[in-house]
Amino acid sequence: MIDLLELKKIGVQFGDKQVLKDISIKFQPGEIIGLVAPNGTGKSTLMNVIMNYLPPNQGKVILNHELQYSSKANEVKIHQDVSMMPDQSDLYNHVSGKNHLKIYQEMWNSDPKLIDDTIVKLGMESYVKKKTGTYSLGMRQRLCFAMQIVSNTQVMLMDEVMNGLDPTHVELISQILLQKKAEGKTIIIASHLLENLEQYADRIFFMKNGELKLVDDVSPGFSDNKVTTVRVSNFSQELLIVFKEQFPELAVQTLPNGKTLIDVKEQDTITLGAITQYLIAQRLTDFSFGKLTLNDLYSLEYQQS
Ligand SMILES: Nc1ncnc2c1ncn2[C@@H]1O[C@H](COP(=O)(O)OP(=O)(O)OP(=O)(O)O)[C@@H](O)[C@H]1O
């Protein structure tokens, strides 16, 4: 089993555009990593470096403390342990889903039982023997996911795994991801389905200006729910100024969508009560208490002027 995948000072430049800047990170077995960023930021570039498809301009990737990505010669060994979920365009229209799964099982020499297990888990029985040319978008996506699960590599990279899936299948795949994590896999997922990613990812990173920012550094206490967020609609600038004078110790931010977020430490019921009284007195009755969401943080990180 791989016990570590390590990126050391990875830099990638296309022309004069620095897409990845000095990225150093270690991935452990049994964890799910979420990569979040607007389109064109560098998520695929990072995955291509981890797959050894793209040699970085600077830095190195190391597998299990020893296997260095310095040359193409190591690629076969690397791909035994590190896989990228196939893309829908990689499917052969005239070949059945089941045969795609068999090919992957044979190429990675994994347990043949995984084929039927995965078909059942993903509810693919009714169509898996048909040619993939007859599949809908969601059926193709499930097959691509199933192919990677059947390959059963230690490290799995997934770019937009939930693409085109209905909520039932998003939930099903989320459950399988958690099972794979429990088996000790390292799963790195780029996704724009932020609410979903939050359910299963252990560490989530925003990519910005070529760097990875852990969301807990963007908002301390985010993952361990140590902050209660009061979400207020229609907080006018005038009232906000008064509010900030009255509660100078609180972090207050207004999102581009007009919602104002007030962060309160988890147990501080006195402050929560005082905020409630203030809001009601000002007739600001459209508010709720809850957790800061990844969507809120995304908006703060990328949409703030
Ligand atoms: N081979 C290449 N040559 C030149 N520029 C490239 C190349 N590959 C990627 N880029 C540029 O690098 C930047 C990052 O691209 P990348 O595909 O990694 O983004 P991404 O975050 O995966 O986007 P998306 O969410 O749309 O998949 C983009 O500006 C892209 O145009």
What integer pLDDT is reported at residue 216 of this predicted model?
A: 86
pLDDT confidence band for 304 (50 / 70 / 90)? low
DSSP letters for the chain:
----EEEEEEEEEETTEEEEEEEEEEE-TTEEEEEE--TTSSHHHHHHHHTTSS--SEEEEEETTTEETTSGGGHHHHHHHEEEPPPGGGS-TTSBHHHHHHHHHHHHT--THHHHHHHHHTT-TTTTTSBGGG--HHHHHHHHHHHHHHHT-SEEEEESTTTT--HHHHHHHHHHHHHHHHTT-EEEEE-S-HHHHHHH-SEEEEEETTEEEEHHHHSTTTTTT-EEEEEESS--HHHHHHHHHH-TTSEEEE-TTS-EEEEEETT-HHHHHHHHHHHHHTT---EEEEPPPHHHHHIIIII--
CATH numbers and ranges of domains, the chain? 5-218 (3.40.50.300), 227-303 (3.30.70)
Share of residues in the chain with pLDDT > 70 (%): 98
Share of residues in the chain with pLDDT > 90 (%): 76
Q: Give me the mean pLDDT over the 100-114 stretch.
A: 97
What integer pLDDT is reported at residue 27 of this predicted model?
A: 96
- Ligand 1, atom 9: nearest CA belongs to which residue? 45
What integer pLDDT is reported at residue 70 of this predicted model?
A: 67
pLDDT confidence band for 257 (50 / 70 / 90)? confident
Out of 20-34, 77-91, 266-280, which region has the weakest mean confidence (pLDDT)?
266-280
Residue 305, pLDDT > 70, answer no
Pocket test for ligand 1, best of 19, 163, 197 (most atoms within 8 A of CB): 19
What integer pLDDT is reported at residue 251 of this predicted model?
A: 87
Q: Give me the mean pLDDT over the 272-291 stretch.
A: 91
Pocket test for ligand 1, best of 45, 160, 188 (most atoms within 8 A of CB): 45
Residue 155, pLDDT > 70, answer yes
- Ligand 1, atom 8: nearest CA belongs to which residue? 45
pLDDT higher at 100 or 68: 100
What integer pLDDT is reported at residue 158 of this predicted model?
A: 97
Residue 72, pLDDT > 90, answer no
pLDDT confidence band for 274 (50 / 70 / 90)? very high
pLDDT higher at 168 or 74: 168
Residue 178, pLDDT > 60, answer yes
Q: Is the CB of 289 under 6 A from ligand 1?
A: no
pLDDT higher at 300 or 110: 110
Q: Is the CB of 44 under 6 A from ligand 1?
A: yes
Q: Which atom belonging to ligand 1 lies closest to the Cα atom of 45?
A: 18
Out of 170-184, 185-199, 202-216, 263-277, which region has the weakest mean confidence (pLDDT)?
263-277
- Residue 221 Cα to ligand 1 middle (Å): 32
Q: Give me the mean pLDDT over the 156-171 stretch.
A: 94
Residue 24, pLDDT > 60, answer yes
pLDDT confidence band for 227 (50 / 70 / 90)? confident
What integer pLDDT is reported at residue 217 of this predicted model?
A: 84
Tokens linked to 100:
């795609």
How crowded is residue 296: how many other Cβ atoms within 10 Å of its Cβ? 21
Q: Which atom belonging to ligand 1 lies closest to the Cα atom of 42?
A: 18
Out of 18-22, 67-71, 154-158, 228-232, which region has the weakest mean confidence (pLDDT)?
67-71
Cβ pair 170, 162 in contact under 8 A: yes
